[in-house]
Amino acid sequence: MSGGQVNRALAGVALLLAATALCGCSISIADLPLGSASSDPKAKDPVAYLPVNEIPPARDESALNAAERAKMQSELIAARDRQASAVAGKDQTQTAK
Domain limits, the chain: 66-97
Residue 56 · residue 50 · CB < 8 Å: yes
More confident residue, 54 or 28: 54
Residue-level pLDDT at 41 = 57
- Give the torsion through C-alpha atoms of 31, 32, 34, 35, to 10 deg: 40
How high is the mean pLDDT of the chain? Answer: 79
> Does pLDDT of 42 surpass 60?
no
What is the separation of C-alpha 94 from the centre of its chain, rounded to a whole number of angstroms?
Answer: 40
What are the Cα distances from residue 34, in Å, to 3, 22, 37, 44?
A: 46, 21, 9, 16
> pLDDT at position 78, please?
97
What is the per-residue pLDDT across 65-95, written as a single tens digit (0 to 9) for each?
889 999 999 999 999 999 999 988 887 777 7
Rounded distance between C-alpha atoms, residue 28 and residue 21, angstroms: 17
